[in-house]
Structure 1
């Protein structure tokens, strides 16, 4: 017998209070999409758990009614992971937003999944600590774990998976597991932290996270280095990394993107391929790093390099980088942004970026290249009229060419945005027979395919 929304809501009302359940159209529309170009789908009902027991009860009802479940953080994803393709129940974790414990001596925090990155860092500042993963958006930590997010600081501190010590997860059969411990390392059993971090809500709901944090650096210096060509900029990054300079951030912003930043942020940066850099450490060590980096970029035909020690100037620099997507969106009203998100070995980075730039030039579409080039991850940003079928087909073809180039040169189809809907078609090419093992894990954990169906596979 088909389950109606009314009967589903009646079942949920037995375990949740009235204000934790919504079938309101506006509420559902807000959870029908993320920031990607993928088509929205409405959930049948949105629920707002306050504690793990609520999630357990929701899961039991979903199993009983064979109803799909999609976990939802803030909807800041870029590959459609939170879009409920088969409708069902969307679990919005915004009310599970408590910082449960700060263990400053262990450099650990325990949080609920709805805590945002900025919320955590605001609290950690009192202890001289910070959480390093910085994807730009003020995403929830549960969502960041679900997609294995990274961002500007990953070249020094690592990605989300590197920060996860333990996760509490409600599985599709409504049992609860913990995937790790508080220990810094373990050789005990399968690496479940790694399995669930990046699983995009397809294996269960994360209800608690224990994460590694770091001491706030004694000194921070940012820099902006402009070059005549993208090739020079990227090759200087490779040289900086090979020299062993412990750089904290190194971001590429191409000429087209600098133009958009200047228009949007009212800055007057030189409109050339540019690196945004940041160094963390003690004063003496930083001075050596700065001098060494200056020599390297000058060896690669750097036109100009400027260092910023002032906090306000540093913040302006990174605000410009983080607002890049919005700079393009506001600059091309009526058009939708489509991203690529590939990652290649450092030795292949210059050629991969040049290949992407060549394809963009051939296409003649509004587009730019930005990226966390310190770890080989870069993005092309296309502005597309989604009602123009020929243009959409052209962008899809360009995206595929860039992805295939990355895969053919030892890279991956997604460095940080995840698979979701957009990168499903590349999974068999990238993983080959290993994809069958992933499917077997999915079938074993979620035999009814209720958890975020239609994603990854």
Structure 2
């Protein structure tokens, strides 16, 4: 055990949780791993709460003994948000996975944070409603809220910020608070709901969520097409958005990402930039939307138009897109993937993507690009060997250049992955004096710095 979990704290937590407090090497190792390149960081112990009161009592004990607490759900975050880099307790929320209150007439549902997005949609299957936020992985809804996730459908349905109506959270002293209501708007008080959304577990531990639901579209039509250049594909996207065409999904894959899919899944796609598309509405409406897009795409030399309306065909198409991380790894011959993302105004998107491609080539890196380009957000997946200091240095140079490009073009250093460990170094450049006010908020909410310490805010300034 490290000094962050003292013997008195361990004894108090053991008395509270019994066999739901685990200190085995296997559990600790599992909770210290991540899907990307960050070094393992095992906690001193893993706690498995089942109720909000469990979480509150755990936090009270940890506050009394200055023990760090790091919440974890499905552990699919890409910037190390769930890694307990200062030891302490890994608070595994996966047993808090129930649907608590479904209100179809109000288009909302209240859930516990350990429920996954796919689990929620399975529960909603017979209601005619769905929860649309789709980051790819079957992430926990608490983790998606804490990282302000979005994904492939954000261009139409928004991000978690737009779809969380209210929440319950345990604060750093063990106090349980509720923020927001089931009403669609409010003019009362500070907006604590959306302060906690995206706070990465540094201000409070989310224990309940009230989420906005949407009606299932009558018809869904998916399609793919390819272009001779990324610039053509992106400029097609820009004109599509500016034309007001109601896209449900519009995803860019550069030629390297397509090559990765061909190697990983024998996709058989020509190795050119592709757009993956989806349209929601009535049968007549989706057909009209698809034709409207084709008319725009033809202006930019689109080729190989294919569309799918059956559930099986659409599922296969998006299953391939959601395997981008693993396809990138296949292209990199099994190396670790250093994922990074930025978001820029859509008018600047072509310049940002082409600059990223050129930087990767100049630095001798294998990199793929895939993005939710309808809202200006794209991802680069760089293949790295963590034991190769030179390659890691070149990858670091690439991510720094990408961040600088995004800021120069009026964007942000992360539209989706969040800050965690990896993006802290860019916070001052993006936020300037506002960063000090963020530190003041953290100090007010968590004066002992026990909630996910070492994340979000750079430690030196």
Q: With structure 1 as the length reference, what TM-score do the two structures score?
A: 0.98
The answer to whether residue 9 in structure 2 is matched with residue 11 in structure 1 is no
Partner of 1:193: 193
Structure 1 gaps, min length 5 = none
Residue 380 of structure 1: CA displacement? Answer: 1.0
Partner of 1:113: 113
Partner of 1:385: 385
CA–CA separation in structure 2 for the residues paired with 1:91 and 1:380: 30
Residue 4 of structure 1: CA displacement? Answer: 5.2
Residue 304 of structure 1: CA displacement? Answer: 2.3
The answer to whether residue 242 in structure 2 is matched with residue 248 in structure 1 is no
More deviation in 307-316 or 132-141? 307-316
Partner of 2:275: 275
Cα distance per residue 1:276-307 (max 9 Å; x no partner): 00000012222221111001000011122111
Query: Is the contact between residue 337 and residue 382 of structure 2 (CA under 8 Å) also seen in structure 1?
Result: yes
Partner of 1:88: 88
Residue 3 of structure 1: CA displacement? Answer: 6.4
CA–CA separation in structure 2 for the residues paired with 1:179 and 1:35: 32
CA–CA separation in structure 1 for the residues paired with 2:356 and 2:387: 24
Q: With structure 2 as the length reference, what TM-score do the two structures score?
A: 0.97
Residue 5 of structure 1: CA displacement? Answer: 4.7
CA–CA separation in structure 1 for the residues paired with 2:423 and 2:189: 30
Query: Is the contact between residue 254 and residue 274 of structure 2 (CA under 8 Å) also seen in structure 1?
Result: yes
Partner of 2:294: 294
Query: Is the contact between residue 86 and residue 453 of structure 1 (CA under 8 Å) also seen in structure 2?
Result: yes
- Change in 2 beyond 3 A, CA 1:278/1:334: closer
Partner of 2:49: 49
Cα distance per residue 1:358-417 (max 9 Å; x no partner): 112222322111100000000111111111111100110011001101011110011111
Query: Is the contact between residue 99 and residue 120 of structure 2 (CA under 8 Å) also seen in structure 1?
Result: yes
- Change in 2 beyond 3 A, CA 1:60/1:294: same
- Change in 2 beyond 3 A, CA 1:243/1:54: same
Partner of 2:124: 124
Query: Is the contact between residue 168 and residue 179 of structure 2 (CA under 8 Å) also seen in structure 1?
Result: yes
CA–CA separation in structure 2 for the residues paired with 1:344 and 1:56: 39
More deviation in 250-259 or 332-341? 332-341
More deviation in 441-450 or 183-192? 183-192
Partner of 1:23: 23
> Matches of residues 41-440 of structure 1 in structure 2 within 5 Å?
41-440=41-440
CA–CA separation in structure 1 for the residues paired with 2:206 and 2:416: 19
CA–CA separation in structure 2 for the residues paired with 1:62 and 1:4: 8
More deviation in 35-44 or 215-224? 35-44
Residue 333 of structure 1: CA displacement? Answer: 4.1
The size of the alignment, in residue pairs, is 455
CA–CA separation in structure 2 for the residues paired with 1:226 and 1:3: 53
Cα distance per residue 1:135-159 (max 9 Å; x no partner): 0000000000000000000000000
Cα distance per residue 1:206-256 (max 9 Å; x no partner): 000000011110000001010001000000000110110000000000111
